[in-house]
């Protein structure tokens, strides 16, 4: 089932290559899990505006699951998804939904202040600290004065961690070697403030892994798929063959369940001042 899961071993960014059906399915799983824990798809106070009709941009849209959900929920609004890889759908998409291939670390093909709401999720493994500032600046640029920008991440810390953390620690070491600072998941509110956003709200949601409810078991399986996808990078770093790598991954996942571990997912949103 996992033969086509691949990891980008060439890039300095910890980017999953989403060109295979299994990976796209994994991204959809992630969306379903987060929607469950958030009791929805977003946090910014935009329900009425979305109902009336606004322009929305999502960065790092992947398979497009979030933006397709939003487009169906709010048919009067228009939605644009952007990703550096063309893995988003090209057919059977809502009429108020479009996708664009672009790299936000360079620039976005949009005018200043073009969108009422800009949303980005789970990009902490893609950006260096320098990237974070450049990306936030670009996201603020395309946000309309008075509009909202929301960032949502997952912290790279296991709460009540299991004994076996070999694959987890190997992944953290790999991100560090590529110049990625995973602690930036907790800096998203400060980034919004540093780039001129006002009315910034910061919080986080917690979610169990493998225990407590069915969605937690679903999440444990998603993490298992993620680590299988990282095998081409992590197994050589650990000096192990396939069978041993799978065993270590299973030990980690089983340990999350047995230890009743959980993760935190910080989010922050802010408003662009009218006089920006």
Residue 73 belongs to domain with CATH number:
3.40.50.150
pLDDT confidence of residue 22: 47
Is the residue at 15 inside a domain?
no
pLDDT confidence of residue 79: 98
Is the residue at 16 inside a domain?
no
Is the residue at 197 inside a domain?
yes
Is the residue at 103 inside a domain?
yes
Helix (H) or strand (E) holding 78: strand 78-83
The percent helix, strand, coil of the chain (3-state, each to 5) is: 40, 20, 40
Closest C-alpha to 204, from 43, 26, 29: 43
pLDDT confidence of residue 247: 97
pLDDT confidence of residue 3: 33
> Model-level pTM?
0.87
pLDDT confidence of residue 4: 33
Give CA–CA dist 174/170, Å, rounded. 6
CA 162 from chain center: how many Å?
24
Domain ranges, residue 107: 21-271
pLDDT confidence of residue 2: 31
The structural domain count of the chain equals: 1
Q: Which residues contact 28 (CB under 8 A, 6 or more apart)?
A: 63, 65
47, exposed or middle or buried, with CB in 10 Å at 0-12, 13-18, 19+? Answer: exposed
DSSP 267: E
Is the residue at 1 inside a domain?
no
pLDDT confidence of residue 25: 67
Structure tokens at 164: 């076996």
Is the residue at 4 inside a domain?
no
Place of tokens 């946090």: 43
Radius of gyration of the chain (CA): 19
Which residues of the chain, if any, have pLDDT below 70? 1-27
Is the residue at 120 inside a domain?
yes
Closest C-alpha to 46, from 34, 61, 57: 57
CA 105 from chain center: how many Å?
15
Q: Which residues contact 262 (CB under 8 A, 6 or more apart)?
A: 158, 159, 160, 206, 207, 208, 209
Name the H helices within the chain.
Answer: 21-38, 47-52, 65-73, 129-142, 166-177, 188-194, 214-229, 231-238, 242-258
Is the residue at 87 inside a domain?
yes
Q: Which residues contact 6 (CB under 8 A, 6 or more apart)?
A: 16, 17, 19, 20, 23, 229, 232
pLDDT, one tens digit per residue, over 135-190 is: 999 999 999 999 999 999 999 999 999 999 999 999 999 999 999 999 999 999 99
Contact present, 65 and 27 (Cβ < 8 Å): yes
251, exposed or middle or buried, with CB in 10 Å at 0-12, 13-18, 19+? Answer: middle
Helix (H) or strand (E) holding 200: strand 198-208
Contact present, 127 and 47 (Cβ < 8 Å): no
266: left (phi over 0), alpha (psi -120 to 50) or beta: beta
Helix (H, G, I), strand (E, B) or coil at 38: helix
DSSP 159: B
pLDDT confidence of residue 26: 63
């Amino acid at each position: 089932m996992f033969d086509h899961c691949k990891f980008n071993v060439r890039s300095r960014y910890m980017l999953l290559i989403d060109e295979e059906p299994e990976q796209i399915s994994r991204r959809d799983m992630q969306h379903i899990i987060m929607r469950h824990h958030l009791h929805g798809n977003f946090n910014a106070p935009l329900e009425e505006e979305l109902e009336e009709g606004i322009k929305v941009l999502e960065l790092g849209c992947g398979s497009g699951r979030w933006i397709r959900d939003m487009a169906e929920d709010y048919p009067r609004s228009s939605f644009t998804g952007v990703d550096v890889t063309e893995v988003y759908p090209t057919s059977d998409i809502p009429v108020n939904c479009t996708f664009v291939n672009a790299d936000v670390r360079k620039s976005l093909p949009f005018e200043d202040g073009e969108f009422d709401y800009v949303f980005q999720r789970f990009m902490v493994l893609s950006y260096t600290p320098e990237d974070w500032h450049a990306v936030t600046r670009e996201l603020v640029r395309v946000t309309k004065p008075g509009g909202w920008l929301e960032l949502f991440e997952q912290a790279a810390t296991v709460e009540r961690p299991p004994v076996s953390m070999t694959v987890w620690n190997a992944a953290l070491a790999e991100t560090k070697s590529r110049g990625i600072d995973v602690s930036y998941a907790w800096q998203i509110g400060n980034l919004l403030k540093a780039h001129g956003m006002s009315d910034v709200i910061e919080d986080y949601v917690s979610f169990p892994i493998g225990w407590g409810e069915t969605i937690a078991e679903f999440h444990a399986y998603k993490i298992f798929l993620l680590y299988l996808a990282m095998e081409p990078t992590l197994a050589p770093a650990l000096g192990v063959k396939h069978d041993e790598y799978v065993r270590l991954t299973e030990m980690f996942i089983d340990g999350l369940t047995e230890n009743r571990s959980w993760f935190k997912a910080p989010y922050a949103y802010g408003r662009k001042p009218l006089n920006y």
